[in-house]
Amino acid sequence: MAPARKATKAGAKEVPSLTLASSAAAHMSEETRGAALAAPRGLIAAIGCSSLFGLLVLLSFLFSIQDYQTTIDSPYGQPVLQIFVDAVGENGAIVMMTVIMICVFHCGLFSVCSNSRMYYSFARDSGIPKWFATVDKRTQAPVKTIWLAVLLSFCLALPSLGSTVAFTAATSIATSGLYISYGIPIALGLVWPHHFQKGPFTLGILSKPIAAAAVMWVICITIFFCLPTANPVTSQTLNYCPVAIGVIALYIAVSWTFWARKYFVGPVRAVDGLQVAPADATDAYAHLEIGADNKLAEKDSPIDETEKESL
């Protein structure tokens, strides 16, 4: 039953990946015009499309399984490849796996692009050294954080070359870490809603029910990914995902307690080329307005030079 449990968990891990990739709409929001409206709309559209097509892909795999046990115990060591071989033969399987490899390569490009933007934002907000918070004049891209994302990803992947345990831990923490990073602000918004300033896009009365469901889902899926894939549990079958999460949580708690809270003041807002840290969240959308056409735009009265100097 161990292979079956491992396959079930591996399959479940792919389901979040189908929707998590849609978060690119949020990660690229700083390079989007009217992002306060365009980003959430793009996020919802991306989640809807990826969920629909992802479901179709998963169903096609499930209905193509000809023998479950043979698929699980595939001599190729890869159930998906076995499904392709059974369905379209070896030559067709090579073509299909090539298509998947190309898709995975582009997923890697997306990850680098997304991570580099998050690193840039974090550097701009003093979360990491501000040396990374620069945009290359020629490419108009955060080149330093792009290379930082590539380097850290490379270092994280190195241990998996010689250990399947390390590979499993890396993939588990990648999925769990993403979910936790989404779940924390949602949970904080539920517990302390008065600390959050609503933007021009809102889900209205559905906000709290959806947020509560999202938090419960994050809790359940995180626990699921922390469970071992085989029994009995040994050093080779132990899921090190909770260990990694614990180490990261401990580092965050210690760093915030002793030094990070002394210089990290929260998100920095850019105003006509200047970088301004708002005194509170209430002015986060002060420079924006929604027109009669329900489109977000800059106010007609821009900040004058005197106000810029005061900022």
pLDDT digits (tens, 9 = 90+) for 143-162: 999 999 999 888 878 877 87
What pLDDT shows up at residue 19? Answer: 52
| DSSP string for the chain | -HHHHHHHHHHHHHHHHHHHGGGHHHHTGGGSTTHHHHHHHHHHHHHHHHHHHHHHHHHHHHHH-S-HHHHHT-TTS-HHHHHHHHHHHHHHHHHHHHHHHHHHHHHHHHHHHHHHHHHHHHHHTTSS-GGG----TTT-S-HHHHHHHHHHHHHHHGGGGS-HHHHHHHHHHHHHHHHHHHHHHHHHHHH-GGGS---S---GGGHHHHHHHHHHHHHHHHHHHHS-SSSS--TTT---HHHHHHHHHHHHHHHIIIIIHHH---PPEEETTEEE--SSGGGTTTTEEE-TTS-EEE-SS---HHHHHH-
Domain assignment present for 189: yes
Rounded mean pLDDT, 238-258: 87
Domain assignment present for 205: yes
Confidence grade of residue 299 (pLDDT, cut at 50, 70, 90)? very low
Question: What b/e sequence results for 62-89 when a residue is b if at least 16 CB atoms lie within 10 Å of its CB, and e otherwise?
Answer: eeeeeeeeebeebeeeebbbbbbbbbee
Per the model's pLDDT, the better-predicted residue between 107 and 283 turns out to be 107
% pLDDT > 70, the chain: 78
User: Residue 259 above 80 pLDDT?
Assistant: yes
What rounded mean pLDDT belongs to the chain?
A: 77
Confidence grade of residue 2 (pLDDT, cut at 50, 70, 90)? very low
Strands 288-290 and 274-276: unpaired
Domain assignment present for 216: yes
User: Residue 114 above 70 pLDDT?
Assistant: yes
Domain assignment present for 309: no
Domain assignment present for 287: no
Confidence grade of residue 301 (pLDDT, cut at 50, 70, 90)? very low
State phi, psi for 182 to the nearest 5 degrees: -80, -40
Rounded mean pLDDT, 229-243: 78
Confidence grade of residue 310 (pLDDT, cut at 50, 70, 90)? very low
| Residue ranges making up the domain that contains 204 | 162-264
What pLDDT shows up at residue 285? Answer: 44
Number of domains in the chain: 1
Domain assignment present for 175: yes
